[in-house]
Structure 1
Amino acid sequence: MLDKLFGWTKKKQSPEAINPPITFGRYSDNNKTPYKTKRWADAENLFKEKNYHESLEAFFDYMRDDALQNVQSSTNGAERTFTFYQGSKLVRGRYNGENLSAEVTLARMAQPSVPVMRRLLEHNFNLFYCRYGLDADRLCMCFDTEMNTANPNKLYYAFKELATRADKQDDLLLQDFQTLLPIDTEHIEQIPDAEKEVKYNYLIQWIRDTAAAIEQLDPDKMSGGISYLLLNLAYRIDFLIVPESRLLYDLEDLVAVFFIKDDKASSEKNKVMLQGFLKMMTKTKEEVFPCLFRSKHSFAITQPTQQKIIADSIFGANQNTVWFKENNNPYVAQQISEYGLGYCQYNFSLPRPITDLYLILMKVSYADFFRDLGFSEELYNSKTQKFNSDLIGQKITGIMDAWREKYPQINFKTENLKYDSVLSFTLSFTAEIEFVNTEVS
């Protein structure tokens, strides 16, 4: 009674009070609920019945991420309009009983430019559904179709091409042609300078730590371990720092160096990647801060994959930790173990529960980063080297419960987790993810 009268009982904090509204990782549209999947089927059936407007309404409902509100549609008399977000770009469209059209504004061209027009003409040949266009001084990408051919499958791939290509090309055009001006960017959400400061500092620190670890390894005999370190660094930056614009493309170029098929030895590729990271480390805040912002997406830039691919990647990476464990190099061993899941997170559009589990691993492995961002919910304390095993278990159980309707066989054996070190936790945690069944019912 006294607790109620005087408010002595501590109120339960909301998730927002514990964790700031910061998102991590690339957007994945491989997170549709059973209801959303049904709306896709509704769109297909309604199109076959020639109920084109109703089909589009179901299609946009399927695309809409209710948490992000990334897709919006409205009716204005006989004409209906829609918008959807993709990074720094906003797709706007309209349709009536006969036709549908959509476009994205890329940049403003105040003065006619032959090099710009040549670039766009060349890129036109690589498009399947869309085309580049010029409306007065506005460079744009366009798509249009007749309503009787606007089936959901066609619209999905056409809109994806329109949105993802535009999101990348606007940055590249502005970088390569100084006469172009940015336009239509008011919807981008700027993040606080304090958050940018933390991300910038850890970007520099992680590169420095990785370079220091590489210095201790023979570049020829240990080229495989060095490759793991560099690639996992890239995947970590991509997921936790969430770079956009030029910084993202620089990171993607570094990863591509390793996987491009040529005759170069891995030690040579490692050298190029390391030089690229060291160059990235010299970037000033004035160069990096504009590449850090929050944006909504409607399409993933990667494709889904089979559970076996994920399991094989994790298993292979964990097998390669053995030598480093036995030779007292836990840092490299941990980075290699992280790589197995990080590779999948970077290259594939993973089921949402797998990404949520990866976030738990990141919160343990890089606890200081999350603390400095303002996350008071602590899964691991790097100073005391203590795990919050109860909270980790609760988080995992919550993920399993949230997605069991879509994945009836999903399960995670928390009793198999080991908490004697970050390395043992990482190995046991990723080993369990091998067997997380995300087959749809």
Structure 2
Amino acid sequence: NFFKTKTERIHQFGRGINANISPNEEVFFNKSYEAFEKQDILNAYKYFLKSLENFSNNTSNCNININQENEKLNFEIYQGTAKITGYVTNENLYAQAIVTKNKSTHVALKRYILERNYQLTYAYYCSDDKYIKLKLYFNNLTMSPQKIFFPIREIALNADFDKEYIKSEFSNIILEDIGHLKSIDDNELKIKYNFLKKWINEIILKIDTFPSNDNSGMQAFALLYILFKIDYLLVPKYEIYQKTSKKVQEYFNNENSTIEAKNEELKEYIYKLKEMDYLKFSTNFYNAKYTFNPTEKTSHEEINLFITESLSKIRWYKNNRYNQIIPIIYEYIALYILYNYGANPVIRALLHMLVEIQNPIFFKELNYNTLYNKDKSSFYKKEIISKIEEIIVPHQNRFKLLKPFGDKLNFSTINEFNNSFYLQLQELNFEDV
């Protein structure tokens, strides 16, 4: 295909695994189930762990490592800052994630760990003579792939979250077992830092154009949009991630505060991000391997409902001639879904493509082929249609009614394109036939 895009994704975007599941994932999972039924425990776990392996550009990310020694299966699972090591015998499963050295703890951290133990379902914190660890121990007598998935996922996600949280809240404590993390190229960091400043300056100027009366709703969209954008495109870790996610959570969960007060809190935080110097900014980034998505799977119906509600708000603003907020809400929709929902791989890939189209200057700086020329307000139509086919066609074996929709998009303006793209997303049929 002459128009096939030449842009393999080489950067991490968002909080998911940023990779493709194993092409044999379903085969391995089914083999694991059959082996558990036969009490062939070591092979059952081997197949299960292989089903968790993910790939980028057809190459394994080595997020799962397995090594069998006689009647013992050793494994490693990577999830961000967390490295889960363990072993399986015919009788038991043991897994652990080292967090920090025992001697480095103080009262506040011990209190935090104690509270976390009450929040966890399967894993638990403990300490030996050297380390504080998150541990998991199971008897294999009645095990199955479904039963083991959630405990393994819990220890991986929570070990990663807690190590990030500890790094953010207890700056004097040194994390252990993070030798697998890779630093980000300084040029890439500078690009991200410059865009952080650029986006915040732009949104501040945009907010100044809003009508002086009754603009709290527009401000909310603009402020949340910029935080979602920073999170998805820049992918900060540690302090920036922890504080950003806390601000977003408080915004949506605090029912006792007015929207105006919550906007002011977001604005204050965004100004702090704007004033952050490069040295501090650069300490909030690393590259890592991931095995589990942090968000729960979300039905297509739920995502459709959010899109419908959001498009109705756009129509209201359009009818009332608040045109300056409309492009922001169109971008907000995709970023909100990517931040909050565990969308299926097709939806995630399509939304990422939409984000690429909406942010051509940023992606060009990262050396990706762009799909939209902002200066000329023109689309690379054939490349967009081709890319939609690349995303959808591989999934048609499972979803027979899933059809590419590139030829149904409206390429007249960026707003019309966004609107038609969301409408086509809603039309996708993920029914198994």
> Normalization by structure 2: what TM-score?
0.92
Alignment partner, residue 185 of structure 2: 192
AA paired with 1:370? F
- Partner residue of 1:351 out of 332, 344, 352: 344
Is 1:417 the counterpart of 2:409? The answer is yes
Alignment partner, residue 226 of structure 2: 233
Is 1:321 the counterpart of 2:314? The answer is yes
Is 1:50 the counterpart of 2:42? The answer is no
Alignment partner, residue 246 of structure 2: 253
Q: What secondary structure, in the 3-state scheme, does the structure 2 residue paired with 1:75 have? A: strand
Q: For residues 187-212 of structure 1, what are the alpha-carbon distances to aligned partners after superposition, in whole Å with 9 as ceiling and x for unaligned?
A: 11222111111111111211221122
Stretch moving more, 397-406 or 212-221: 212-221
Task: Confirm or deny: 8 A CA contact 1:243 1:291 kept in the other structure.
Answer: yes
Is 1:39 the counterpart of 2:16? The answer is no
Alignment partner, residue 9 of structure 1: none
Aligned in 2, Cα 1:33/1:109: closer, same or farther, shift over 3 Å?
Answer: closer
AA paired with 1:316? E
- Partner residue of 1:106 out of 87, 91, 99: 99
Alignment partners' CA distance in 1, 2:361 and 2:182: 25
AA paired with 2:99? L
- Partner residue of 2:111 out of 101, 118, 121: 118
For residue 47 of structure 1, report the CA deviation from its aligned partner.
1.3
Give structure 1 stretches of 5+ with no counterpart: 1-11
AA paired with 1:60? L
For residue 327 of structure 1, report the CA deviation from its aligned partner.
5.8
Q: What secondary structure, in the 3-state scheme, does the structure 2 residue paired with 1:358 have? A: helix
Q: What secondary structure, in the 3-state scheme, does the structure 2 residue paired with 1:132 have? A: strand
Q: What secondary structure, in the 3-state scheme, does the structure 2 residue paired with 1:180 have? A: coil
AA paired with 2:283? P
Alignment partners' CA distance in 1, 2:20 and 2:428: 16
Alignment partner, residue 25 of structure 1: 14
AA paired with 2:308? F
Alignment partners' CA distance in 2, 1:326 and 1:179: 54
Task: Confirm or deny: 8 A CA contact 1:257 1:273 kept in the other structure.
Answer: no
For residue 316 of structure 1, report the CA deviation from its aligned partner.
1.6
Give structure 2 stretches of 5+ with no counterpart: none
Task: Confirm or deny: 8 A CA contact 1:418 1:425 kept in the other structure.
Answer: yes
AA paired with 2:266? M
AA paired with 2:294? I
Alignment partners' CA distance in 1, 2:282 and 2:310: 33
Alignment partners' CA distance in 1, 2:36 and 2:356: 45
AA paired with 2:16? Y
Alignment partners' CA distance in 2, 1:403 and 1:265: 45
Is 1:132 the counterpart of 2:125? The answer is yes
Alignment partners' CA distance in 2, 1:345 and 1:370: 17
CA RMSD of superposed structures (Å): 2.5
For residue 153 of structure 1, report the CA deviation from its aligned partner.
2.3
Q: For residues 206-247 of structure 1, what are the alpha-carbon distances to aligned partners after superposition, in whole Å with 9 as ceiling and x for unaligned?
A: 122112222222466122222222222222222211122221
Q: What secondary structure, in the 3-state scheme, does the structure 2 residue paired with 1:27 have? A: coil
AA paired with 2:14? G
Aligned in 2, Cα 1:338/1:277: closer, same or farther, shift over 3 Å?
Answer: same
Alignment partners' CA distance in 1, 2:31 and 2:241: 37
Identity percentage of aligned residues: 22
> Normalization by structure 1: what TM-score?
0.90
Q: What secondary structure, in the 3-state scheme, does the structure 1 residue paired with 2:55 have? A: coil
Task: Confirm or deny: 8 A CA contact 1:313 1:341 kept in the other structure.
Answer: no
- Partner residue of 1:366 out of 359, 363, 368: 359
For residue 250 of structure 1, report the CA deviation from its aligned partner.
1.4
